[in-house]
Every structure is written in structure tokens, then in C-alpha cells.
Structure 1
């Protein structure tokens, strides 16, 4: 998993207990950085260790060190049994079930645990930190089931499975294989293990929020890319539907200065820079595309005045029917016009007058009756911006959490005090993750609505029904919207806040819990759903653009800087335009799997 670009040395993330960032965690989790324990950490850790050794061996009553756990806290444990207590803790708390957490999520959890121990208030030996660092740098990854945490006393089950593997008792991935038993212990010996737990070390490893916090780091890191992908999908849909760019105008967002919506509008503008398919509602459309009305019509006399034969290029370029164009001409000139067929209309005036009238005529979106686009277009910067605000809120909460002491009790080395509190309780994380889950759901819902508009012939401004020529015999991309709707609706169900729930545990000693890990797992599923919905929008928007350009006789040069790059990438990937029905799930999956490359292609063309 660990890899350096171009054979170079991996960047080192310094573990000092106070400066870890969300992006640091993501880089280490995905094997793009190694860890290095900062100078000064060992001294802090060993001072706290001396304190816990003195307290334990003097017979002091210390929760979880010389007592049982939870509802068993009143049970005293002798110093000679204190190490066995820690081993039993990890064995008994390894109760996780369900699917395995992804390797990157486990690595994120390990790094967060390492950083919290580096603060020097947990009472562990320094070799515990060294083993965690070696496991990260050598890519030994414990097998950790995803279910079993209620978010207080922290993430007990997942963290216990992590510790179990470091003890040589569980399972782990090592050099591409799943290992256990003697094979695992042999691997651990290469790293300075296996770990034989001493006073408080089991509790320091399995108590706290690192599993939730690690997942949260990955969600925030990937969520930022989702926010940008949403803006790219919006921009491409706007081009396909010949939309107004007025909702992206920076002056609008200055008057309601939520940072998220301003950033969303700015990025969409950047993706669309130079596009001739979009523009202000008051800006003439044909001139922008390099087209002339006079060149796209033929005139002939009729008993009523003039018959105007319309080219399909004209109607596609304007995104109108002959009836809509006739109404626009009537309103613009005062001369009555009426549709006579799909590609013809009548003007109640002589041919000579009609020729002069049409020679310089152009139309704005407003003149074609499109003063405003639908909410799924017009409100998108606000909705996408709300995701950015949720990401910002979550990042602030999470970056405090991953640089905090979250196990219990806390050892105060200077005074030799032991403070029992609740830094393990995951409520701040649960609330932030639920907020992020809801914001991601909004993005999938508004994206699905744009997919619907692209496919519906009553809404897609002259494109073929379900984005395929010969619809009827062919179904086209119709059912891709069903998939988007299914995923968006599933996310609505999952968006119910986990943080609104609690359930008593440990004989009512632990009578309020946060469900933070549940919030993280739900948010992860919603993130994946949202990525797929956006992939479906990108697929439909790209097919729509290809049909629009072809019908209007325009080239890719009409597209925006970023949208052209994304369209070219997707077009080459899928062989657009699609002309015959095929299993579209393959197209969805191919776009979904290449979302990072599509976004990079679009970003790479943006002006500084």
C-alpha cells in the first residue's frame, strides 16, 4: 500500500500530539506518507508511564488499572494481576461483527491512536507508540470489523481488534496476505512486537474515538473532492441544457456571503470559462456560438406572407421548438408568427420584410422564455455550498479531536493525579458526521433532479428523449435515472441522525452513548452513493453535450475550459455519443471508477 511517486521518498507526517491534520491522516491512510514520531514525545510518554507504574505498584485505586471496567469498576484488582487485566480487556472487548473496515480506515484509526498517545497523558510505554508507527510504515494492517461501537466509552470494539492484532492474537494483512497465529507473531517480531500489555495499556489502546475520528478524516478528505465533482457535473449539465450563468454571478454571492456557496459558484464559473453554450440570460445566444439566423433559415412566399424553413441546427442551438421560436419572434417584433410544422413557421409579412427582419435577429435566453432556470440548476451553488460548510464544520471538530487525549482515565504526570472524565464520548464527532451525511444527501438529491431534466424531452430543450436517437425502439439512458433515484432515496433514509439516538450499556453505568461510529459508517455509505449519482449525472451530461454539439454543428471548442477537458475524457472513455442501447451499468461503473481522473482533467485546465 505504501508507495512514493516516481520512486521518491515518502513525505513524513510528524506525530507530535498536537499538529495532525485531516489531510495528514488521509495521506498516511492511503499509503502516500509515512509517520515519524517527533522529538520530545518519548520524554512526555515516559514521564506519564513512570506515574502510572508508581500509582499501580503502590496499590492506589486507579480506574481500569487496579479496578474492573464499566459497571465492574467497584471490583479491586491487585497490582500483580494488573497486566492480566489489560489483556483480558482486549480479549473480552473484541466483539466486532460485520464487514471489515477498509485498510485505509484501519490505518487512519492507528495514526489517530498514535497521535493521541503522543500527547503523554495515557501512561503507556514508549514502545507501544513505536510499534504503532512501525506497523504503519511497514504496512501491517489489523483486521477490524466495522460494527460494534456505540461511541462511548469510545470505539471499544474496533480499537480492541486493532490492539488484538498487535498482540499477535487477532488477524492482520501483511505483505499482501491475511495472517494470524504464528505467522502474525513472526511479522510482529520484525516490527518489535508482539505487544505484551502492561499497566493501563489495553485501556489506553481501546478507549477513545480514533476509529470514528479516522473514518471522519477520510470522509472529509474525499468529501472535498465530491463537492468539486458536484460543481463540475453542474457545469456540464448547464452546457447541455444551454443554461443561464446568472446564478453563478459573483455579485449575487457577495450579497449573501456564505463562503461555501461563493466557492461553489466560483468553481463552476471557472469550469465554464470560455463556453459558448451558456451565458447571461440577457446575452444573445447565436452570436456567441458563431452562428447567424439568416444562414440557418430559408424563406419562401406563401398566401399568408412568408414561410420560414428552419434548420435543425438552429433549433438545437437555441434549444427550442418551432412553436417556441414563433412565439419569441412575435414577442420580439410584434409580427405574428406561428408554427407550421416541426421545422417551419409562418410570418404574417412579405418575404422582403421577413428577410430584413431575420437578417440580424438573435435571441437571448430571456427572449426565449428562459428568464430563470429550474431550482436544480439555479440553487445548485447554494446546495453544493452547504456541503462545503458542513465539511468546514466537520474539519474543525475532527482536527481538535485527533489532537486530543480521548482515553480515560487521564494521567497528570506532574501532580501524579488520575482524572476520570468522558473525553472518550463521541458526541461532537457524531453531530459533525450527521451534518456531513445530510449535506452529502442534499447533493445527491439535487444531482438526481438534474439527471431527470437531461432525460425528459419536455425539459431538456430539444434533445432526444432519454438522450438517444430513435427512442421508442431504443430506451436510451432512461433507467440510469432510476438508479440515481434509488441511491438518492437510500441516502435519505440513511441521513436520519445517529446522534439523536442513545442506548444504555454496562448495567446502566454507561447510560448515555453517542453512536458516533454509526454516524461515520452511515456517512461513508452516503458518500459512496453520492459519488455514483454524480457519475450518473456526468454520464448523462456528457451524452447530452455530444448530441447537442452534433445537432447544432458545433465543435468541442464551444465548451468551457474545464468542462471540455472532462467531456473529452469521458467521451474517449465511453465512445460518445452512444447510438445503440447497451448495458449502461458498465458506463456508470467506468465513470464512477475514474472520477478522480475526470476531476483532475478538468482542474488541470483552469486558469490560476
Structure 2
């Protein structure tokens, strides 16, 4: 039976990721919460009817805010959304847009936006029937919120724009909504502004990037443990007697996981006193990654469950502020991008070491006994990906331009920060998959393979079908892709296992 999720309750970034990729999940809003939202809405409407001032309801938008609007209905038509729907590029993946819809429903359920409860109910209904707006990839500045991408979601709620159903059929929103028995929104005070003036899209992309960072961390623990065994790196380097001397719980946790994976290994080379940094400092490098990731997770979780609207209805009046400003997500995503650099450089050095006959302790050049280049080009690909990542790591937060006639005189760029971090995580998984392939192939060539740990043995044996008829039927790039799929599954399994062991992750 598919789980039913109450979107009026707190969500984590993992929840957002898992619910957005699993279209069998269904959502609802608790009836008691809907009644509370209805009461808030009625208070808000009385406030407006009594002459209360509210940005975007009784005033213009942006630099036009000084213009009074005599009738709120004038601003509740599709024209405003059409003017904000200024995106370019390919459409975002469905799961990213689903994530934004999930987060928007969660944020609006807090009640501070004072929207008609049907806005939230409609979001839930579209999610449950898997009708997802088509949203261009580029255009958001993360202030005032994710105006551009969220406008496409707004248009669809009003029956305009393009959507895609669960079968991949694309069409106009009103047509597909009617086919599924869904009634579009009708223009009412403030609703459209609350739908677009928020950080939901930045937070969705950030949730996906952060979850993939979790998977990357676990993947690097897996691949580095195989490399350790392939090179017979001394286990004392990872002893908790050593890592426990530094006051970082993250370092201790990574060390515990590594030792758990290597627990029953009897691989040993007494001639190695101190291995190369790329092997010896694995717990420290991955521990630092984990330490930063804990902070990123916390920031993303807080954003998901915060009111990021402007204006908001608090204590009976409409007040303006800056909660739409995505700076927390922006800084978190720029930081996340930086966190993965050293672990990936370390992967490159390990792969280089394993392929180099001058460094790999008895393995053939590029792991081939034949007169060909074997796996030499694997490290070329890593080098190329690292170069791409080095360009993407440049912070989005350090460049900003004034907009809206300088009423919005600097912006957060949270959305771009999240997008490039998401791309980095995908490229990083390609790098991890290459280490998985190379280190496993190297370990299979070692006479001590049978002495390796049972977990490492299982990781390596998962790749045996990939190694069969290597280069006869598949290119090296295709082998990378196969390795990535297997590693993605293994890291997901290990992550879920570690989640149950609170002391380990």
C-alpha cells in the first residue's frame, strides 16, 4: 500500500527527494489544518475589506509598489503570471518540479500566507494525480523568491501553461486537469503572489543535491574501501585509536563505517609503514565532507519548513519582509559544491596510483597484460570531470546585479547555486563509479582477493557481469555507466542501513 503523507507536517530534504521521485506516494492535508487555514483566510479578507494595506493586493508589484490598486481583482489575472513566466532552456526534470510543489504546499500550510486553502488542496490533488507543470530550467534569482519557475506552477494552477501527466503526455493545463476532474483556481486576493514569491524551487533543487551528496559520501566510502584493499593499505591508518584523538564526531563516524566494511579483512603488507595521502587520509577527507554536509542538511531542512512568502499575514495585519530571500540555500549550496572537491581530487590520485606501474605495487600498467591501453583513459575522464567541476564550484553568491529598478538591488542566486551543486553531485557520482570500476578490477588481479573483507568482496562481485567480455562488446564509457547504476544501488542500500543505526549516520 502506498504511503499517505500529511504535508502540514515537517519534511526533511530526504522526504522531499524520496516523495518527489516516487510518484506512488499520495498526499493530504489534515482536515483540522484546513479549517485553521480557512479561518486565517477569512480574517485576511476582512482585513483587506476594511482598508488594510497589503503589498501585491492593494499595491503594485516590485518598483510599482507605490501605485495603489483600487480594486484587488485588477491584479488577479493571468497577465501578471504570464509576465513573470520568463524562463528559458530545457524543462526541469519532473521530480524537481514535484519537489517544489511538495515544499510549496508545506510552506503554505503554515498559514502565514493566508491563501485560500483550495490553493494547497489543488497542489495536493495535482501531485496525487501526477499532473506536473513544465518549467524551463533557467531564470530564477532566488529573490524575490523563485519568481520565474514558480510562475509556471502558478499558471498551471489557474489552468494555463503546459503540464505533463503520469504517462508523459503533454498538453495545456486546463484540458488535462478537466480530464482528471480537477477544477483550476479562480483569481482571488493574494493567492498568485504566494504561489510565486517563495523559495520552493531553490529548496527542491537543494533537497535533490543534498540527498545526492549523501549518496556520494556513501559511494566514496565504498569505493575507497575497495581501493584500500587493492593497495593493501595498512588498516592502522583508519584505527579509531587515531581518529578518536581529533574532536570531530564526523571523523569518528566515517572511521567506524570504514572499519565496519573492512572488519574481517586479513589483507596485510608489512612493508608499508605510511601509505600515500590519498589512501592514508581517507577518514579525514570524508569526515570533513560529512561535517559540512551535516550543516547543509540542517539549513535545507529549515528552509523547507519555513514561511518564505512576502508579504505575510501575522497578528491580524499584512506585513512585508524578506523571507523570500534565498540566502540560506545559496550559501548552503555554494558550500556543498566546495565540500566535494577534496574528496574527488583524492579519488583521482587513488585511480592514478592504481593505474601507474611505478606506484601500484606489482599490478600491470593500466591493469592490462596486453599491448593496449587497458584502463588508462579512465583517469583521463576523471581529470576532465574535475576540470568541469572546478568551473562549477565558483560561488553563485559572490556575483549579483540590481533588478526591478533597484528596488531589488541585490539578489541571492540561491536557485543557480542549487542547480550547479546538483550538476556537481551527478558528475561526482561518475567519478566515484570510475573508481569503483578501476579499484575492483585491480583487486580481482591481486593474489590476496580471497583475504579481503566480506563486504568488499560483495561490492566487487557485483561488478563481475560488467567485467565479462570487457571491451569486446561495450566501450569503456558504457562500463562506467553500468558501474554507476550498480554503485547507486549499493550506496542507497548502505545509506538506508546506516539510517537505522543512529550512531553511524
- Taking structure 2 as the reference length, what is the TM-score of the superposition? 0.94
Counterpart selection for 1:529 from 406, 427, 430: 427
CA contact (8 A) 1:149 1:515 kept: yes
CA contact (8 A) 2:159 2:177 kept: no
Secondary structure of the corresponding residue to residue 90 of structure 2:
strand
Residue correspondences, number: 499
Counterpart selection for 1:569 from 442, 447, 462: 462
CA contact (8 A) 1:474 1:580 kept: no
Structure 1: gaps of 5 or more residues: 1-8, 279-284, 286-363
| Segment drifting more, 29-38 vs 217-226 | 29-38
Measured in 2, the distance between the counterparts of 1:136 and 1:477 equals 45
Q: Which residue of 2 aligns with 1:175?
A: 166
Measured in 1, the distance between the counterparts of 2:284 and 2:325 equals 33
Measured in 2, the distance between the counterparts of 1:120 and 1:506 equals 28
Counterpart selection for 1:269 from 259, 265, 276: 259
Query: Residue 435 of structure 1: CA displacement?
Result: 0.9
Measured in 1, the distance between the counterparts of 2:375 and 2:285 equals 26
Query: Residue 378 of structure 1: CA displacement?
Result: 1.2
Q: Does 1:598 align with 2:490?
A: yes
Secondary structure of the corresponding residue to residue 463 of structure 2:
helix
Query: Residue 579 of structure 1: CA displacement?
Result: 8.1
Within a 5 Å distance, the mapping from 1:343-358 to structure 2 comes to none
Within a 5 Å distance, the mapping from 1:392-431 to structure 2 comes to 392-412=294-314, 415-431=315-331
Give the 3 Å change call, closer, same or farther, for CA 603–241 of structure 1 in structure 2: farther
Q: Does 1:498 align with 2:489?
A: no
CA shift digits 1:57-113 (9 cap, x unpaired): 33433111111111010111122534x445332111101111221111111100100
Within a 5 Å distance, the mapping from 1:244-323 to structure 2 comes to 244-278=234-268, 285=269
Measured in 1, the distance between the counterparts of 2:460 and 2:233 equals 17
Q: Which residue of 2 aligns with 1:449?
A: 349
Measured in 1, the distance between the counterparts of 2:307 and 2:383 equals 42
CA contact (8 A) 1:52 1:199 kept: no
Give the 3 Å change call, closer, same or farther, for CA 590–132 of structure 1 in structure 2: same
Give the 3 Å change call, closer, same or farther, for CA 10–257 of structure 1 in structure 2: farther
CA contact (8 A) 2:215 2:495 kept: no
Counterpart selection for 1:10 from 2, 24, 28: 2
Structure 2: gaps of 5 or more residues: none
Q: CA RMSD in A?
A: 2.2
Secondary structure of the corresponding residue to residue 462 of structure 2:
helix
Q: Which residue of 1 aligns with 2:481?
A: 589
Query: Residue 126 of structure 1: CA displacement?
Result: 1.0
- Taking structure 1 as the reference length, what is the TM-score of the superposition? 0.78
Measured in 2, the distance between the counterparts of 1:580 and 1:219 equals 36
Measured in 1, the distance between the counterparts of 2:76 and 2:197 equals 14
| Segment drifting more, 42-51 vs 126-135 | 42-51
Query: Residue 44 of structure 1: CA displacement?
Result: 2.6
Query: Residue 398 of structure 1: CA displacement?
Result: 1.3
Query: Residue 575 of structure 1: CA displacement?
Result: 2.0
CA shift digits 1:486-545 (9 cap, x unpaired): 111211111111122221110000001100001000100100110000000001001101
Q: Which residue of 2 aligns with 1:317?
A: none
